[in-house]
Amino acid sequence: MILDRPVQAIKRVNFLADPSSDRPDWAGRNGNYIRNRNYYQARSYQSDLGGIEFCVCPMPRFGRTGGRETEASGAILVPEIIVDSFTLTARWIFPVAGPSLKNGTITLRGERIVAIEPHGMRGADLDLGDGAILPGLVNAHTHLDLSGLKGKLPPSQDFIRWIRGVVQHRRNLTPEQLAGDIQIGLAGSLKYGTTLIGDIAGQGLSWPFLANAPLRAVVFFELLGLPTNRAEQTAREAQLWLKEHPATSTCRPGLSPHAPYSVRASLFEAACQLAQADQIPLATHLGETPEELELLKHRRGPFVDFLSELGVWDPQGLVHTLEEVIDYGHLLSFLVIHANYLKSNQLVQANRKMTVVYCPRTHAAFGHPPHPFRDVLAEGGRVALGTDSLGSNPDLNVLAEARFLRRSFPGLPGDQLLRMITLSGAEALGWDQETGSLVPGKSADLVVLPLPPKDEPDPHDLLFESDSCISRVMWRGSWIDEHEPPSSRSRAGLKTKSAP
């Protein structure tokens, strides 16, 4: 069925509907859906998009679909659909998995990319002008449920003060406030061009929002529990949540043992066993602060007082080293969040499936020393970028993270930087076969970014040495900002080209 979303161009669709049914029928006009409740009279809708015709007609109880008889039972049947391709062009196309193409083209058919070609190989149906076409952006780490903290708890070098405020905030939230905060964070993510997100969610509560949003997601069920009874309870809750939340076509489950100071060693092990059994990713905050290292090495420091205040201090339950946590995840797709105080050899040699998720602006806001991401990259490791939450960041703009990093490290190659906010994040989250780069066969997930009126030897510099914002977002072949396919947008003031 394709009726749940627009497609680029349909030469002719015959919808056959049971006249006895009171369900609404759907047909398309100019790429949008219209509601038709009159099933007793055949109706044709002529589009001015290249002669595309849509027809709705009544049918008997049995119809013929694809050469075989099918019982209608009140359902809508689609006997024949011919979908045309649609081609976009812009000043630059950045596929990520291949060389950048000046004035190249990207051709779509339905939800899929079918061709990426240099200039002159194919005429374009839609010219996006002086801009860049990029893969949809990937935010590998955030906490949407902390969006209500924006501006209320400025980060500082006193991490314990900050995390104490986060705990207090969460305890005071009503379910309605929590739902509102998740929706605020989701709206911000979409605004900034995110088409794939990794969200760590208390009790997995962001699932219904992300599973129904126009993006892909991994929802990481957050596990907390240092005392034995709490750890065992959390493991049972995670197992039940996984059973109740199987992967969908756009949303997948993951697990997130929160951090070494808040998760018992046995709970880390249980989480890894569950993740391995279900082949789902695991994410944990690791090596985030010097206080964490002091706690694990000496069983002392500010975390002791903090955990005692919460009534959960149990030194016997702590892991002994960070390497112990890394070893738990050696067979998994493992996201190490932050890794501010880890060394590259700890992060690369132990697990080739591991991804370091670096949140540059949050890292800077807490005043941490330089991050080891460059050493990780130099040794062949994978690094993806995340925004963390609005509790430590002004927005959920992963492109702003990359631009911040470029200003901090001007020599960082632009192609590497772009990969860190696209394909590397998709690989970390397990979605790289579907999205993260512009490759034939992958989903048509892309964003459009206006470019400054100048040229650079490396065109990637145009992306990161600018303050322009994402202007268009496409997901699964449809513009999500206007809920219409690109063929409709070509009639709304953008330049169009005809095929040669």
Residue 350's pLDDT band (boundaries 50, 70, 90)? low
How far apart (Å, rounded) are the C-alpha atoms in residues 116 and 139? 24
Backbone angles phi, psi at 305, to 5 degrees: -65, -40
The residue-averaged pLDDT of 205-230 equals: 98
Q: Are 9 and 52 in contact (CB under 8 A)?
A: yes
Quote the pLDDT of residue 133. 98
Residue 482's pLDDT band (boundaries 50, 70, 90)? low
How far apart (Å, rounded) are the C-alpha atoms in residues 497 and 488? 14
| pLDDT over threshold 60, residue 14 | no
Hey, what are 41's tokens? 């009279």
Hey, what are 425's tokens? 């994040």
| pLDDT over threshold 50, residue 17 | no
Q: Which of 222-231, 254-263, 345-354, 442-451 is predicted with the least confidence, judged by mean pLDDT?
A: 345-354
Q: Are 315 and 303 in contact (CB under 8 A)?
A: no
Residue 349's pLDDT band (boundaries 50, 70, 90)? low
| pLDDT over threshold 80, residue 321 | yes
More confidently predicted of 40 and 376? 376
How far apart (Å, rounded) are the C-alpha atoms in residues 334 and 427? 11
How far apart (Å, rounded) are the C-alpha atoms in residues 49 and 26? 18
Q: Which of 80-89, 181-190, 321-330 is predicted with the least confidence, judged by mean pLDDT?
A: 80-89
Adjacent-strand bridge partners of 88: 106, 126
Q: Which of 225-239, 308-322, 474-488 is predicted with the least confidence, judged by mean pLDDT?
A: 474-488
| pLDDT over threshold 70, residue 393 | yes
| pLDDT over threshold 60, residue 5 | no
> What percentage of the chain has pLDDT greater than the value 90?
74
How far apart (Å, rounded) are the C-alpha atoms in residues 132 and 29? 29
CA 108 to chain centre: 21
Backbone angles phi, psi at 102, to 5 degrees: -80, 125
More confidently predicted of 16 and 227? 227
CA 338 to chain centre: 18
Q: Is the pTM of this model over 0.95?
A: no
Nearest Cα residue to 75 out of 20, 129, 125: 20
More confidently predicted of 40 and 422? 422
Query: What domains does the chain contain, in order, with CATH numbers?
Result: 10-83 (no CATH), 85-129+440-457+464-489 (2.30.40.10), 137-429 (3.20.20.140)
Residue 83's pLDDT band (boundaries 50, 70, 90)? low
Quote the pLDDT of residue 63. 32
Q: What Rg, from alpha-carbon coordinates, does the chain have?
A: 25
Q: Which of 27-36, 306-315, 321-330 is predicted with the least confidence, judged by mean pLDDT?
A: 27-36
Burial of 236 (C-beta count, 10 Å sphere; 0-12/13-18/19+):
exposed
